[in-house]
Amino acid sequence: MTSYELRITNYELRVTNYELRITSYELRITNYELRVTNIKQILLTVNY
């Protein structure tokens, strides 16, 4: 029973790490979108 519970805990930790990776990936996408928005703003100011 103990070894089985430990395996479940390890699996949950892996899932948590995966979720953290997804979260960091979403943060990277958000940063990228912010950069694109900044570039668009710069292009708009240059056009004017």
> What whole-number distance in Å separates Cα of residue 29 and Cα of residue 22?
10
What type of residue is 5?
A: E
* Confidence at 48, pLDDT banded by 50, 70, 90: low
CB hemisphere CA count around 3 (13 angstroms): 0
Domain map (residue ranges) of the chain:
1-48
Q: Please give the torsion angle defined by the CA atoms of residues 40, 22, 20 and 13, in that order, rounded to the nearest 10 degrees.
A: 180
- The two tokens of residue 8 are 């479940």
The per-residue pLDDT for range 21-36, each reduced to its tens digit, is: 888 888 888 888 888 8
| pLDDT for position 39 | 83
Q: Say if pTM beats, i.e. exceeds, 0.85.
A: no
